[in-house]
């Protein structure tokens, strides 16, 4: 491969990485519209929460890291040689990102912790499906989702406990 071809390939790859980053950032932005400010903050502050609820400052730090790994993982799969497995993994990557976006709207935007919990459980399933499919294409891409799977499991437990502690506010 000559230098020009390598340069074009590298540029396409960087553009693809930027695209995966923008898609993931778009989901983060969408979720943040529902989780910050005004009535969302008031509603959340008034909920009874379990003792294992992290301080508010933890969430942005965790999510920035997770979103970076999500984008990188998707890009790694995209960068692999075309195959049925790659195509399947990319579809699952998009599905989990969609479910991720929906959780904040259900929980903070619509104040429906029970529906948000169902979404979190579905998201966890999608994450594991993606990891299984991604492992066939790129082990590092699959492993990048391990912290995400752990966080979503923790978040689902937190969500379940909030729904249990706030039965009137948790109705679906």
**What are the tens digits of pLDDT across the range 136-169?**
999 999 999 999 999 999 999 999 999 999 998 6
Measuring CA to CA, which residue among 143, 124, 129, 149 is closest to residue 85?
A: 129
Residue 50 has pLDDT above 90, yes or no: yes
Mean pLDDT computed over 78-93: 97
CB 169 within 8 A of CB 47: yes
Band (pLDDT 50/70/90 cuts) for residue 13 is confident
Mean pLDDT computed over 80-99: 96
3-state DSSP assignment of residue 145: coil
Band (pLDDT 50/70/90 cuts) for residue 36 is low
DSSP for 47-98? S---TTPPPTTHHHHHHHHHHHHHHHHHHHHHHSPP-HHHHHHHHHHHHHHH
113 CA to centre of own chain: 17
Mean pLDDT computed over 126-137: 98
Question: Residue 56's pLDDT is what?
Answer: 86
Band (pLDDT 50/70/90 cuts) for residue 14 is confident
């Amino acid at each position: 491969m000559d230098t020009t071809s390598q340069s074009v390939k590298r540029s396409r790859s960087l553009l693809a990485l930027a695209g995966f980053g923008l898609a993931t950032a778009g989901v983060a932005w969408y979720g943040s519209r529902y989780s910050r400010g005004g009535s969302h903050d008031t509603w959340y502050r008034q909920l009874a929460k379990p003792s294992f609820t992290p301080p508010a400052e933890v969430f942005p730090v965790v999510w920035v890291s997770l979103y970076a790994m999500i984008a990188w993982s998707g890009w790694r799969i995209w960068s692999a040689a075309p195959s049925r497995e790659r195509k399947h993994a990319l579809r699952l990557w998009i599905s989990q990102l969609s479910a991720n976006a929906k959780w904040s709207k259900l929980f903070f935007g619509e104040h429906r912790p029970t529906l948000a919990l169902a979404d979190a459980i579905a998201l966890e399933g999608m994450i594991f499906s993606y990891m299984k499919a991604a492992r066939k294409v790129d082990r590092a891409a699959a492993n990048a989702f391990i912290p995400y799977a752990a966080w979503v499991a923790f978040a689902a437990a937190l969500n379940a406990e909030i729904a249990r502690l706030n039965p009137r506010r948790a109705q679906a």
